[in-house]
Amino acid sequence: MSSFRIPKKKYVPDLAHDSATCEGNYAKLQKIFPDMEENQQLELDLHDGRQRYARIRLKVRECFSYTATVQMEISSVMPVSKSLLIRVYQDARMAEVVKGESGRQHNGVYPYPNEQMYQVDEKAQLNRFVSECLSQCLSDGHIVESAVLDRLFSQM
């Protein structure tokens, strides 16, 4: 009896879709941080009309002529939190996740299975996740006043 194996289809990233997601992330970040400056931070509580369901903290870690690095920390009412490092490319008008919880830089594609248990399209999924979080910030976000006051006093 011969065994018939169906060859696995190799994952190929959809560059057009991935680029569009990163361009959208850039546009959303620009609405939140129109003039990115190093150490600038913003905390937003996300409300569904009745109660807070998450808090998102964005902090500009570093700024250069054409790039910036933003730390995004997400905590929810569920015992879940996530921290992501986002690189913002001013010249290309794109923003993408470069590091996740592990602190290691993400590859565009991973073999599957792998020791870290990443999905083959882990980076694309993280960029879509950031896109959804930024959309929520723009639609349901309310600035946490203490973060605004801290920023004002640090500029004095």
Predicted confidence (pLDDT) per residue in 77-102, tens digit? 776 678 999 999 999 999 999 987 76
Sheet of 141-143: strand order equals 94-99, 81-89, 67-76, 52-63, 41-47, 141-143
What pLDDT was estimated at residue 86?
96
Q: What is the pLDDT of residues 87-141, one digit of tens each?
A: 999 999 999 999 877 677 878 887 878 787 878 888 999 999 999 999 999 998 8
DSSP element (H, E) containing 80: none
Q: What is the pLDDT of residue 13?
A: 81
- CA end-to-end span of the chain, whole Å? 80
Least Cα distance to 43 among 155, 151, 153, 156 occurs for 151
Name the residue ranges covered by the structural domains of the chain: 38-154
**What is the share, in percent, of the chain residues with pLDDT greater than 70?**
85
This prediction's pTM: 0.81
Q: DSSP label at 120?
A: T
